[in-house]
Amino acid sequence: MAQMWITMGPQHPMTHGLWTLRVKVDGETIVDTDAELGYIHRGVEKICESRDFTQITPYCDRLCYVSAMTWANSYIYAAEDLLEAEVPERAEFIRLISAELQRLASHLMWLGAFGPDIGSLTLMTWCMRDREMFLDLLQELGGSRMHYNYPRIGGVKRDIPVGFADRLIAKIKLFERRIDEYEMLLDESTIWLVRLQGVGYAKAEDMVDAGVSGPNVRAAGVNYDVRWAHPYSVYDQVDWEPAVEKPTSVKGADCYDRYRVRMEEMRQSSKMILDAIEKIPGGKNTNYSSGDEMILTKAPTRAPEGATGFSNYECTRGASQFYIQGGGEGRGKNPYRLSIRSPMFITIPYVAETMIGYKIADIPAIMGSFDPCIGETDR
Amino acid sequence: MGMKVTLEQSDNAAGSCVEALNDRFSGSGVESTVEHHSNAFKMAFVRINATPQHWLAVAKFLKFDLSVNYCSMVTGTHFPDGPAERGWEVAYHMMRMPVSNVEPHTNTTHVAENLSGNDIPLEFEVRISIEQGDSPTVPSIQSLWVGADWNEKETWDLVGINFEGHENMHRVLNPHDSPDEFHPLQKQHKLRYHGHNEMYDDAQGFGRKPADEGRNK
């Protein structure tokens, strides 16, 4: 049978964003693939070269519109490395809580988008309902639903509001029950199992060699996590362990393992948040005014030439990294060069290659299970 | 309770890597040092200053002797006003991860305090200075780490560093029909807006021209 190239995207539900997957098919079997990115390249790295260090945070929020808080935090740790800022412990706890809330919201967005890919439209409505709880909580911190501009170099913008802790605990406890509900809905659904199990195998070593990280690697049976391997924040003080899955085949993790690991990760995040809010220094019901030394310390605004800052951060989709070189315009007020490493930029070409050999109908399952986000990919 | 790699572990791991590197490459101009971050836990990492001609040898040593298995980031920087021997710089960030394939129905659960030797997660930063000129070139490490492939594509696309021996080099973020020598992160390309005041005067940018208008791009 003649082979032919098919173009999926840029407007295709499988893409979860705006990019093109070109697949060469022989009948229904995929024999070659080619990923094309760059549709929403905004030149963030270039823009940042003409912005102050504090002005860069909102741009980093907008790198990924479903996990803004983790990306802003990731930038802040690099800037703190560059500018040598100290962070009060209360601020580190608040950052941990905000980042884990964002992880819950992001994984729910993933599940909500992945469900319709597989044929379960119910998931979309359920996940959007629950995600709203966490967006409300994040709104209390940052003031808006999706782009918060919340962390600051040396702390956070403002303290947790009075009553936040109670609402947080109530919502997380409710959500822990809801995770069980999702699992009852999905793990007993034949369609869900048949479409995910035995599809999209990926081995741990291959993934690491190709630059894939985060939950996708943990699904293949290794508990490597930036949060303990390159520690930051106060993850060593709260109760959690990295979510890790037991793959069922020598060929590595399949789509079902990647779904399982994210569900487990949501449980761990919930556990972490409940523990952190009790351990927060200064008390969970106190509200320090903005700029108080409990939540923000003064940081330098200029970085000399030759200084560099680097951060390695467990974002919702893998390790996000920032590399900043100081000594830009305005006697070091701007970065000379700011470079962003997006986990998905490396993962998408890898996933396109793993698809070879599967059927064309498996593409949404394989692609969706890796949780692509094009905002961060194209930067 | 949570766990983490301690400062002492990362210090020792970085120290032994630096010793091995300096042993192997003494007198060749490749210098390695143990550095510390100044954020969070002040973790140690290995910084290597290499030259383009020694880079492939260093990369092979990293991969096969120090078990660096993750090429996470490639950054190119343009220094048009820099000294003659440092017109460009390429920085590689690499990680060592204790990741290996597992048997079916099992998993590997590392505990940070029990890790030792080449299993301790560690970060490597390799900086390569390239002399001034129109075609900065370093050897490609695409054949050593698959993950370097798209990172190098991106660095060529945005900064214009040539990776010698890289197969299938093409534009990834810029349009495929961009002019040949156009690499937007080079410093001769300026942003259209320089300050927020300019933006207030002409928010839509109708009357505005690029700052580098008339220059051959």
Q: At a CB cut-off of 8 Å and minimum separation 6, what does A376 contact?
A: A63, A64, A71, A315, A317, A320, A342, A343, A344, A345
Q: What is the mean pLDDT of residues A176-185?
A: 92
Q: Does residue A181 surpass a pLDDT of 70?
A: yes
**Residue A11 belongs to some domain of the structure:** no
Q: Is A376 among the domain residues? A: no
| Residue A112, domain member (yes or no) | yes
**A43 lies in some domain:** no
pLDDT in tens, B125-176: 999 999 888 889 999 999 999 989 999 999 999 999 999 889 889 999 988 8
Q: What is the pTM of this model?
A: 0.89
Task: Answer whether A151's CB lies under 8 Å from A79's CB.
Answer: no
Contact yes or no for A229 and B174 at CB 8 A: no
- Per the prediction, chain B carries an average pLDDT of 84
Where is pLDDT greater, at A267 or B84? A267
ipTM over 0.90: no
Pick from B47, B69, B73 the residue to mutate for testing the A interface (most A CBs within 10 Å): B73
CB atoms B125 and A231 under 8 Å = no
Q: Which of A203, A210, A336 sits opposite B147 (nearest CB)?
A: A210
pLDDT at B87 over 60: yes
Interface contact flag, A249 B91, Cβ < 8 Å: no
- Kindly list the residues from chain A whose CB atom is less than 8 angstroms away from the CB atom of residue B121: 224, 229-230
Q: Please check whether residue B4 touches A, CB under 8 A.
A: yes
| Whole-number pLDDT of residue A17 | 81
φ, ψ for residue B185, nearest 5 deg: -85, 5
Calculate the average pLDDT of chain A: 89
pLDDT digits (tens, 9 = 90+) for A17-44: 888 999 999 989 999 999 998 898 988 9
How many other C-beta atoms are found inside a 10 Å radius of the C-beta of residue A215?
30
CB contact under 8 A, A220 and B77: no
Domains of chain B in sequence order: 7-177 (3.30.460.80), 187-217 (no CATH)
Q: Is B7 on the interface with A (CB under 8 A)?
A: no
The pair of three-digit structure tokens given for residue A376, joined into one six-digit string = 């961060």
Restricting to A residues 166-195, those with a Cβ less than 8 Å away from any Cβ of B are none
| Contact between B37 and A233 using a beta-carbon 8 Å cutoff | no
Residue A277 lies in a domain: yes
pLDDT at B217 over 70: no
What residue in A sits closest to B5 (Cα-Cα)? A229
* Chain A hits for B3, Cβ within 8 Å: 228, 236
Can you give the pLDDT at residue A72?
93
Q: Do A239 and B1 touch (CB under 8 A)?
A: yes
B101 touching A, CB under 8 A?
yes
* pLDDT exceeds 90 at position A304: no
- Whether residue A240 lies inside any domain: the answer is yes
Chain mean position to CA A89: 23
CB contact under 8 A, B40 and A77: yes
Q: Is the pLDDT of residue B103 over 90?
A: no
Question: Do the Cβ atoms of A332 and A326 come closer than 8 Å?
Answer: yes
Task: Name the A residues in 334-353 with CB < 8 Å from any B CB.
Answer: 336-337, 339, 341, 345-346, 349-350
A208/B175 CB distance under 8 A: no
CATH number of the domain to which A110 belongs: 1.10.645.10
Which range marks the domain in which residue A78 is found? 55-343
Is the pLDDT at A221 greater than 70, yes or no?
A: yes
- Contact check, Cβ <8 Å, B69/A205: yes
* B201 token code pair: 């005067």
CB contact under 8 A, B102 and A205: no
Q: Is the residue at A165 inside a domain?
A: yes
Domains contained in chain A, number: 1
How would you write chain A as a 3-class SS string? CCEEEEEECCCCHHHCCCCEEEEEEECCEEEEEEEECCCCCCCHHHHHCCCCCHHHHHHHHCCCCCCHHHHHHHHHHHHHHHHCCCCCHHHHHHHHHHHHHHHHHHHHHHHHHHHHHHCCHHHHHHHHHHHHHHHHHHHHHHCCCCCCCCEECCEECCCCCCCHHHHHHHHHHHHHHHHHHHHHHHHCCHHHHHHHCCCCCECHHHHHHHCCCCHHHHCCCECCCHHHHCCCCCCCCCCCCCCCCCCCECCEECHHHHHHHHHHHHHHHHHHHHHHHHHCCCCCCCCCCCCCCCCECCCCCCCCCCCEEEEEEEECCEEEEEEEECCCHHHHCCCCEEEEECHHHHHHHHHHHHCCCCEHHHHHHHHHHCCCCHHHHHC
User: Does the structure show a pLDDT above 60 at A161?
Assistant: yes
| Rounded average pLDDT over B34-49 | 88
Question: Does B123 contact chain A (CB < 8 Å)?
Answer: yes
Cα–Cα distances in angstroms (integers) from residue A148 to residues A17, A228, A247, A343, in the given order: 21, 26, 37, 21
